Amino acid sequence: MKKNEQIKRNHHYIWRHYLKPWTDGRDIYYTTKNGKIALDSIKGLAVERDFYKIKHLDEQDIHYLRRFASFSPEPMKDNHNKYLDDFINIQSLIKNLRQKGNKKAAKLMKIHQHNSFEGLHTIIENEAKPVLEQLTQENFTILDNLQNKLAFLSYIGHQLTRTKSLKESSLSAVQSRINTPFASSIPNYELGCNLMEKNWWFLSFIFGTNIGFSLYITKDKDNHSFLRNNTMVPFITSDRPVINVHKSLKQLPNGEAPENMDLYFPISPQIAFMINESDRYNDSIVEINEESDVMDLNKAIAQNSYRHTFSNSMDLLKKLQKHTSK
């Protein structure tokens, strides 16, 4: 079977290449969904069957997604509608082939539904790949090139929104209000919940694109810092690797959205990236020499993880087990 005809059903919501700096070349230490520590290949981790499968788009779905896209920043509206048009046109083309009795139509539809959106994330990843590789080698000047910076920030935006953690927490938060006075005051609230769940694959793309665009637009006024870990304790990462670590979160009531953000993203056991609103780190390159600082960031990653934390150190994951989110 030709490679472009193979149906991809195991979809990674954490890019395998991103996890490589924590591996021994193939395997990585991680916490299992049962809370144990295991060593395994990154190939089968942070993956779910059909996670990015495209659902059939009917007129109701299309209207819903176009309306959602309309709330995006002006340059992004056309971008979202262009991608949506592409998915609609492919679906329509295959439908016409099926009506004409084309024997390959059913197979083409499966390839489209299982591969197309996964392929879109692959494009975003491939654009960021050379940037991440240089950053792991501490070549921070790679971001002096604006195209590289755009690719990097776009990748961060999508990695923030494409996780299973965000999908489940977002859908749960919306669906939990179905039987409340708030929901009853909104026409077709339950229908909106169903459309959100069905079309999350594209909504997450809208959110990720908008966040990446926003991070790029504000790049000159935001405080970007690279953290160089000079301690014996490595940075860890998780299946939710982009998190907010602003100190105000500790006083934030449950269910209330944060107003401030210190965005933290570990790149390797030695390097991490932050976009800070606070004065926690003000320099473009910060040398971290205190193990307590590294552990604070590691605890935040563990606390915000969905199922898995990842490290090149089994002992470190054991120390952090009590902080993992279960």
pLDDT in tens, 240-259: 999 999 888 877 777 677 77
Task: Answer yes or no: is pLDDT of 4 > 80.
Answer: no
CA-based Rg of the chain, rounded to a whole angstrom? Answer: 21
Report the pLDDT value the prediction gives residue 291, as an integer from 0 to 100.
94
* Closest to 242 measured CA to CA, from 270, 201, 272: 272
225-to-186, 217, 219, 231, 274 alpha-carbon distances in Å? 42, 17, 11, 18, 5
Residue 91, pLDDT > 70, answer yes
The pLDDT score that the predictor gives to residue 200 is 96
Structure tokens at 109: 């539809």
9 exposure class (CB count in 10 Å sphere: 0-12, 13-18, 19+): middle
pTM > 0.85: yes
- What amino acid occupies position 187? P
User: Vertex 60, ends 205 and 5: CA angle to 5°?
Assistant: 55
Longest dimension (CA), the chain: 68
